[in-house]
Amino acid sequence: MNHSTLNFDRYPQQPHGGTLVNQVVPEDRVKDEIERARTLPSIRVDLEAVITIEMIATGVLSPNKGFMNEADYNSVLKEGRLSNGVVWPVPLSFARLAIATATLLKDFRSALKWR
């Protein structure tokens, strides 16, 4: 189901931050994306990261679209809010990408692998 076709105006409960994130690959593109991922360098992740990534992709952690950048991370630690002001009390971080690695991989595409 495409989230852009959903109208939340009629519901009393709105998506947190006003946006429901949906980054699940549509069924008709899954095979192509799996093949593309096989051509990329990979980073092995643990079950905790897999669960967090799934929650980000399916909108459970809306309005977050990924792990936090430095500005959001620091803002959450200091203010309990994302850098745009939306209340968010817990930072979303990816332990495998330490600061030095994250800097190195800033514009780097990779596939995340579990198992």
pLDDT tens, residue by residue, 85-104: 999 999 998 765 554 455 55
CA distance 31 to 44: 21
> Residue 75: what pLDDT?
97
CA distance 25 to 47: 20
Cβ-in-10-Å burial (0-12, 13-18, 19+) of 88 comes to buried
Provide the CB-side half-sphere exposure for 101 (13 A, CA): 8
Q: What is the dihedral of CA 66, 45, 31, 24, to 10 degrees?
A: -30
> Residue 58: what pLDDT?
93
User: For all residues of the chain together, what is the average pLDDT?
Assistant: 83
> Residue 86: what pLDDT?
96
Mean per-residue pLDDT, 74-85: 96
Whole-model pTM over 0.85: no
What proportion of the chain, given as a percentage, has pLDDT over 90?
A: 48
Where does the pLDDT of residue 44 fall: very low under 50, low under 70, confident under 90, or very high at 90 and above? confident
CATH of domain 3-113: 3.10.400.10
